[in-house]
């Protein structure tokens, strides 16, 4: 540690050391497909007092700067919040998330009591493991090509609801088990907090849009960015003065700003600052972890990891089934959301400050979170293989697919009634060509029914569902699913059932296109490639290039790309 006579440059050296070490370990984490904040956390462990490396000389000052990181994290979450993410899955997002968090809290509290922890620590532990990681889940879904699927929309809705639930948890948890009060004082404290937050929202709704509009009118990027930061931190400070968390006020400011037309620009301006101070936040948490203590308790750590992954996974899967989701959705939820989230670290820090948990529990919980986050991509990758094995063992599909009374004669069978599928259906309907949609999303199913279109409710990978849509007599099969894996499975099943059926399949990448092309009689559409061609065409038209020359150029680009994929010339 640095001596009291050390120069004041110590805090600058500390920040430099944390940033450099965080950059190196964050890049390493990214290289192995992990969230970069795990690298920041590891940097804090290496630079902390429990490891014999270069120790930070001013940990208290780093913790104070980390408070800004917490506020900016929640400020950004508030700006990013979108009701549209919850609209289609609002029932499971609101009620299902509440049930899942309550059951997970009870599971964690029960495990804590089994370990002999005090009731207060056990409840805190249950709350810490009830939150999943938005960063890890979204990264895993994107890497697997599952964004846009029903599973991903359900998971995203529940993750957004969990992130919002962190705010009331920050209010309630510090009041539990306090020696100076009981249920009455807890309710009184919550009532005061709710009253203040309501007043804060009313004031913010008037002040924030006005200030941001004035800053935008000044036409100064610097003033606009400073206004956004000042609003987030200033409202956070008002919240702190009222006895609430600094971060809660920042979150309220973000929520108000999210309703403004300037919200997107505000978010883009705040992200670099959030990321830098976020590094300090996660590093400061890492400094509190004692690796030696964790090494002395491997059994407890292994049991905690097992209970979190298995118990939480089963809870998510059960909630999914309870709310009417079938087939792959509950399995995807259970495997994809069984980790402990990044906001659990925020709650854990609050637990340390309020005396709700000790450093020993903090170290074990942090280690459990890290292990579960690292395991998530591998667990999520097993979703499709496990689902296929389950279907082979239990081949029955959904209980009776909901289908039209009689499928149209020689229809075009369209798997997926999302934006792409609906547009294809609209074109066919306009031309008077028969078609039948298939979708497993009840909202999309209802929307197609409302338009009077033939539609089957079910999983397009299942034989009874495809039969109900009239695949045996189909003229063409169209697969519009955004999931690369899902599209391959459905296309392969269509080819298996009707070997001579021509297929048009949406495909997100060249790698998946090769596997689809091997099915034969497949026309592959890559949205990004087709969009690039259209953008190039529009640009050349704008630049007054002759139409014939434009067409020759586009053909020259398209032919080798299609030849490399090997798909069928259905055009």
Q: Contacts for 312-321 with beta carbons within 8 Å, 24 or more apart?
A: 312/104, 312/107, 312/129, 312/132, 312/337, 312/338, 313/337, 313/338, 313/379, 315/100, 315/103, 315/104, 315/107, 316/100, 316/158, 319/92, 319/96, 319/99, 319/100, 319/103, 320/92, 320/96, 320/154
Tokens of 108: 């964690």
The CA-based angle 488-405-387, given to 5 degrees, is 30
Q: What confidence score (pLDDT) does residue 475 get?
A: 92
454-482 confidence digits (pLDDT tens): 998 878 888 888 988 999 889 999 999 88
In this prediction, residues 313-317 reach a mean pLDDT of: 95
What does DSSP assign to residue 409? S
In degrees and rounded to multiples of 5, residue 228 shows phi and psi of -60, -45
Q: What confidence score (pLDDT) does residue 570 get?
A: 45
Tokens of 339: 């980790």
Q: Which of 29-43, 152-166, 250-264 has the lowest mean pLDDT?
A: 250-264
- Residue 187, pLDDT > 60, answer yes
- Residue 486, pLDDT > 70, answer yes
CA 12 to chain centre: 35
Q: Contacts for 273-278 with beta carbons within 8 Å, 24 or more apart?
A: 273/72, 273/229, 274/69, 274/72, 274/73, 274/75, 274/76, 276/19, 277/65, 277/66, 277/68, 277/69, 277/72, 278/37, 278/40, 278/69, 278/72, 278/73
* 40 compared with 252, residue with greater pLDDT: 40
Q: Which of 1-10, 189-198, 353-362 has the lowest mean pLDDT?
A: 1-10
* 473 compared with 187, residue with greater pLDDT: 473
Q: Which of 48-57, 122-131, 273-282 has the lowest mean pLDDT?
A: 48-57
Q: Classify residue 94 by burial, with Cβ atoms within 10 Å: 0-12, 13-18, 19+.
A: middle
In degrees and rounded to multiples of 5, residue 67 shows phi and psi of -60, -40
The model's confidence at residue 571, banded by pLDDT at 50, 70 and 90, is very low
Are 210 and 190 in contact by the 8 Å Cβ rule? The answer is: no
514-568 confidence digits (pLDDT tens): 777 777 777 888 888 888 888 988 998 888 888 888 888 888 887 776 666 555 5
Q: Which of 342, 170, 292 is nearest to 239 (CA)?
A: 170
Domains and their CATH numbers in the chain? 10-386 (1.20.1530.20), 412-565 (3.40.50.720)
Buried b (16+ CB within 10 A) or exposed e, 371-407: bbbbbbbebbbebbeebeeebeeeeebeeebebbeeb
Q: Within 10 A of 221 (CB to CB), how many other CB atoms are there?
A: 11
In degrees and rounded to multiples of 5, residue 505 shows phi and psi of -125, 130
In this prediction, residues 118-135 reach a mean pLDDT of: 90
The sign of the dihedral angle between the CA atoms of 555, 556, 560, 563 is positive
């Amino acid at each position: 540690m640095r001596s009291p006579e050390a120069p004041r440059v110590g805090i600058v050296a500390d920040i430099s050391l944390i940033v450099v070490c965080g950059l190196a370990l964050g890049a390493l984490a990214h290289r192995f497909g992990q969230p970069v904040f795990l690298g920041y956390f590891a940097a804090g462990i290496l630079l902390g007092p429990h490891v014999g490396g270069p120790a930070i000389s001013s940990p208290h000052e780093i913790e104070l700067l980390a408070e800004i990181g917490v506020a900016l994290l929640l400020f950004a979450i508030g700006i990013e919040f979108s009701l549209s993410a919850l609209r289609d899955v609002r029932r499971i997002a609101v009620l299902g998330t509440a049930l899942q968090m309550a059951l997970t809290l009870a599971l964690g509290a029960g495990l804590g009591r089994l370990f002999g922890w005090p009731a207060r620590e056990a409840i805190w532990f249950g709350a810490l493991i009830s939150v999943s990681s938005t960063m890890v889940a979204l990264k895993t879904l994107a890497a697997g090509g599952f964004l846009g699927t029903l599973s991903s929309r359900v998971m995203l809705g529940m993750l957004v609801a969990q992130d919002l639930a962190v705010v009331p948890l920050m209010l309630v948890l510090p009041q539990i088990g306090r020696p100076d009060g009981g249920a009455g004082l807890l309710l009184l404290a919550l009532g005061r907090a709710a009253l203040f937050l309501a007043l804060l929202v009313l004031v913010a709704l008037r002040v924030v849009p006005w200030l941001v509009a004035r800053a935008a009118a000044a036409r100064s990027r610097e003033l606009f960015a400073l206004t956004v930061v000042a609003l987030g931190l200033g409202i956070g400070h008002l919240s702190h003065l009222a006895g609430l968390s600094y971060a809660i006020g920042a979150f309220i400011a973000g929520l108000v700003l999210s309703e403004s037309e300037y919200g997107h620009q505000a978010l883009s301006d705040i992200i670099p600052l959030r990321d830098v101070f976020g590094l300090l936040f996660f590093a400061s948490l890492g400094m509190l972890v004692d690796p030696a203590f964790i090494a002395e308790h491997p059994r407890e750590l292994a049991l905690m990891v097992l209970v979190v992954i298995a118990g939480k996974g089963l809870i998510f899967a059960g909630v999914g089934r309870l709310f009417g989701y079938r087939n792959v959705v509950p399995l995807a939820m259970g495997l994809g959301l069984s980790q402990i989230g990044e906001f659990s670290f925020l709650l854990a820090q609050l637990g340390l400050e309020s005396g709700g948990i000790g450093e020993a529990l903090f170290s074990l919980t942090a280690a459990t979170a890290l292990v579960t986050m690292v395991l998530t991509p591998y667990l999520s990758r097993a979703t499709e293989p496990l689902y296929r094995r389950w279907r082979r063992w239990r081949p029955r599909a959904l209980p009776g697919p909901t289908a039209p009374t009689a499928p149209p004669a020689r229809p075009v069978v369209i798997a997926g009634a999302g934006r792409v599928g609906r547009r294809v259906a609209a074109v066919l309907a306009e031309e008077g060509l028969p078609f039948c949609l298939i979708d497993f999303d009840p909202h999309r199913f209802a929307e197609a029914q409302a338009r009077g279109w033939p539609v089957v409710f079910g999983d397009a990978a299942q034989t009874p569902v495809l039969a109900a849509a009239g695949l045996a007599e189909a003229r063409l099969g169209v697969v519009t699913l955004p999931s690369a894996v899902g599209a391959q499975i459905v296309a392969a099943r269509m080819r298996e059932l009707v070997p001579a059926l021509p297929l048009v399949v949406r495909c997100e990448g060249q790698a998946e296109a090769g596997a689809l092309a091997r099915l034969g009689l497949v026309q592959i559409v890559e949205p990004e490639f087709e969009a690039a061609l259209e953008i190039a065409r529009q640009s050349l038209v704008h630049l007054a290039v002759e139409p014939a020359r434009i067409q020759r150029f586009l053909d020259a680009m398209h032919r080798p790309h299609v030849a490399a994929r090997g798909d069928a010339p259905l055009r």
